[in-house]
Structure 1
């Protein structure tokens, strides 16, 4: 069996021009107990903004769900001519993790179909989610690689020069690939994402049920720069793990020997619902062709600070804040919900 790397393919950075953004329409009431109706407005506002610069492709179960989606999208003024619906049933909405991983190179495009087990068998069933990459490959007539191991899109972040950023907390968790050690996992990442180097940081944020996805803590914003969330309040349980990650990031060097640039992002004030602290983070932004969509949390002080910091990192795109206070009750936000399809 060949691999993307052997065939000259790679997973590009998120800011690489997109052909489309892929989503899976939210419908699982267990993910947003008692609150799913309140997420559709901000979710569709996200789609409206992304669709201004690229096609949006939405996996959903049937014509009834498509009609519901069209109604919600019309209410927020989304351009339906830029939105395409695919009857690909799912168990849940987290397309970053169950969706296709697109690799490109030399005028070619393909899909990597990583295994998906709902973050270590936490939320069965997930059989429909696990079929999505194959269905998208069929719909787009693209070849599909089968690594045969579990991997989630939210557990890895990329620059455009072959570096993958990930966490030991997630990728080395025995509930994913207990048969593999760190070196073996690195080999899979390099072979199937076309990467050259893997950078490891530590733990994720409180409330994150994915065992520490990197897209809630540290993200590349250019080839030589990351943003990373920090919590200055020493009494907050996020303080210590985020401080440790910050120190690790300061030790990384690029291929030419220059140190990685690290920009600090604040954490929002704790978002708590029904006694549960939620994984609210400004790092869960999504880089689209014409904008960057950042989740906000009704925190007047930190929402504005984070927007300013991110806007300083993305001089070629407008950074838009959309309220994710209800969405994050599902334990994720805009990046977790989306997966980019790059242009060739």
Structure 2
């Protein structure tokens, strides 16, 4: 039986965490392996920031445990020796669900490296089972290729995603839109999917939702917007704004929309960077927010100000968002929350 049939639901990301899970970078699989040291320092900054709020488990290739231990120390940080190829645990890791008794389970989605873009992915596809076994968590195997960064839930029946990613033919070409929607709802315990059209320009994940929109609470969505009509993201974000303005959630509510201005357009080695403040990560009592500095100083300030107003009881902990973005993602992409068990 699937999680929904057994009354398991995916909690919202702001619910209490038992811990955060992160995979350490693997140089051989990086887009720019020459940036390995910079990326590792960026990961270390993120991990130490999260550890200020909650325990962190870092998946590390066994031969690198000693080196990573020296970089991170041991205060609220656990190293788990486990082979993997890519360090985007949001996407290849398990999605956690809970039942009414507070018991935890993990959904093991199929993973094909974002539409077979980066081979091999067999080690990454095996990570969820190894993690769930390590923590003694029940496993549900979903018959669907899906990355965790492509979905976001409100904890009250509604899920956000994009057609560009979840309906992409490089994931589940044998399934219809209706079949994909049914499976996503069954394995997350949701009742309605709100489909945005596209993700950010240049996003090699084919438009993950975690760069453009997220729930702040049931009935409340934060949307990154672009105000420059010459920017490719202008049409993308305006279209998504119109969809959200007309949408109703699983409880029939119209959505309150909080707009967050995107950082200025930036490039790295001729490729557009998918800079996003929406790639922040909820932690217990706080938010880990990537900021970008330089030309983005003003939008950085606005992002902190906006999120602090939306979440007055959380501490906004900023980190250098430029450290790992050259590899394609940011704080939310590299993390996976394990909800607290009752």
TM over 0.5: yes
- 2:313 alignment partner in structure 1: 316
The 8 Å contact of residues 28 and 92 in structure 1, kept in 2 or not, is answered as no
CA distance in 2, matches of 1:43, 1:19: 20
CA distance in 1, matches of 2:323, 2:265: 14
TM-score for the superposition, normalised by structure 1: 0.95
Shift of 1:255: 4.5
Count of aligned residue pairs for this structure pair: 337
Q: Deviations over 1:51-79 (max 9, x none)?
A: 122211111111x41222222224xxxxx
- 2:279 alignment partner in structure 1: 284
Matched, 1:103 2:97: yes
**What is the SS of the residue equivalent to 2:4?**
coil
Shift of 1:41: 2.6
Within the candidate set 316, 321, 324, 1:327 is matched to 324
CA distance in 2, matches of 1:254, 1:126: 35
The 8 Å contact of residues 157 and 250 in structure 2, kept in 1 or not, is answered as no
- 1:120 alignment partner in structure 2: 115
- 1:3 alignment partner in structure 2: 2
CA distance in 1, matches of 2:245, 2:32: 37
Instruction: Kindly report which structure 2 residues correspond to 1:68-87, keeping only aligned pairs within 5 A, or say none.
Output: 68-74=67-73, 80-87=74-81
Q: Deviations over 1:80-113 (max 9, x none)?
A: 2311111111101000000111111113111110
Instruction: Kindly report which structure 2 residues correspond to 1:206-217, keeping only aligned pairs within 5 A, or say none.
Output: 206-217=201-212
Matched, 1:297 2:292: yes
**What is the SS of the residue equivalent to 1:10?**
coil
**What is the SS of the residue equivalent to 2:84?**
coil
Shift of the 192–255 alpha-carbon distance from structure 1 to 2, 3 Å rule, reads closer
Matched, 1:236 2:231: yes
Shift of 1:140: 1.1
Q: Deviations over 1:260-308 (max 9, x none)?
A: 0101111111121111111111110000112101111111111111111
The 8 Å contact of residues 50 and 290 in structure 1, kept in 2 or not, is answered as no
The 8 Å contact of residues 271 and 297 in structure 1, kept in 2 or not, is answered as no
CA distance in 1, matches of 2:135, 2:334: 20
Matched, 1:140 2:135: yes
CA distance in 1, matches of 2:235, 2:262: 13
Consecutive unaligned residues in structure 1, runs of 5 or more? 75-79
Shift of the 256–11 alpha-carbon distance from structure 1 to 2, 3 Å rule, reads closer
- 2:19 alignment partner in structure 1: 20
The 8 Å contact of residues 20 and 54 in structure 2, kept in 1 or not, is answered as yes
- 1:77 alignment partner in structure 2: none
The 8 Å contact of residues 17 and 342 in structure 1, kept in 2 or not, is answered as yes
- 1:67 alignment partner in structure 2: 66
Superposition misfits of 4+ residues, deviation over 6 angstroms:
none
**What is the SS of the residue equivalent to 1:34?**
helix
TM-score for the superposition, normalised by structure 2: 0.96
**What is the SS of the residue equivalent to 2:6?**
coil
Matched, 1:203 2:198: yes
The 8 Å contact of residues 289 and 317 in structure 2, kept in 1 or not, is answered as yes
Shift of 1:256: 4.8
- 1:179 alignment partner in structure 2: 174
Instruction: Kindly report which structure 2 residues correspond to 1:31-46, keeping only aligned pairs within 5 A, or say none.
Output: 31-46=31-46
CA distance in 2, matches of 1:107, 1:283: 28
Per mean C-alpha deviation after superposition, the further-off stretch among 13-22 and 300-309 is: 300-309
CA distance in 1, matches of 2:338, 2:190: 18
**What is the SS of the residue equivalent to 2:278?**
coil
**What is the SS of the residue equivalent to 1:145?**
strand
For the aligned residues, what is the CA RMSD? 1.2
**What is the SS of the residue equivalent to 2:15?**
coil
CA distance in 2, matches of 1:22, 1:32: 24
CA distance in 1, matches of 2:182, 2:321: 36
The 8 Å contact of residues 49 and 291 in structure 1, kept in 2 or not, is answered as no
CA distance in 1, matches of 2:251, 2:92: 35
